[in-house]
Structure 1
Amino acid sequence: MGRRSKTGQDDRNEGAMDKAKGRMKEAAGALSGNKDKKAEGRADQRKGTMKEKKGHLKDLLK
């Protein structure tokens, strides 16, 4: 069977999860003094924001 294509809501949900994961990584990096982990967390948050925007765009183009 073929894979179901992701809906806008799926992308928004994934984006929210990436943002939450990123906030946790950033906080862990800040607490431990690990600059790389902190930067990775910020990158995950940006990735999540982009996925959320992609989801909104998919819904607009339906």
Structure 2
Amino acid sequence: MKSSTKDNAEGKMHQVKGKIKEIAGKLSDNPDLEAEGTGEKIAGEVQEKIGQVKKVLGK
């Protein structure tokens, strides 16, 4: 699997996991879990963008 494809897939996975944690934190009134989910979601978005850049650059 190409590095760019792997980054895109992992980025999407982290976004989904982060969104689930964020929602679980809101439902359980746990601000720490909600913040952790938000952070993971943002990290996933960044990783996905890195994959897109690698694809454009041909890496």
- Give TM-score, length-normalised by structure 1: 0.89
Once the 2 structures are TM-superposed, how far is the Cα of residue 52 of structure 1 from its aligned partner? 0.3
Once the 2 structures are TM-superposed, how far is the Cα of residue 9 of structure 1 from its aligned partner? 0.6
Pairwise CA RMSD: 1.2
Q: Determine the C-alpha separation between the residues in 2 that align with 1:53 and 1:20.
A: 15
The answer for unaligned runs of 5 or more in structure 2 is: none
The secondary structure found in structure 2 opposite 1:42 is helix
Choose the corresponding residue for 1:16, options 7, 12, 19: 12
Match of 1:52 in 2: 48
Q: Which one has the bigger helix percentage?
A: 2
Choose the corresponding residue for 1:41, options 37, 44, 51: 37
Match of 1:28 in 2: 24
Larger radius of gyration: 1
Percent identity among equivalent residues?
Answer: 41
Once the 2 structures are TM-superposed, how far is the Cα of residue 48 of structure 1 from its aligned partner? 0.3
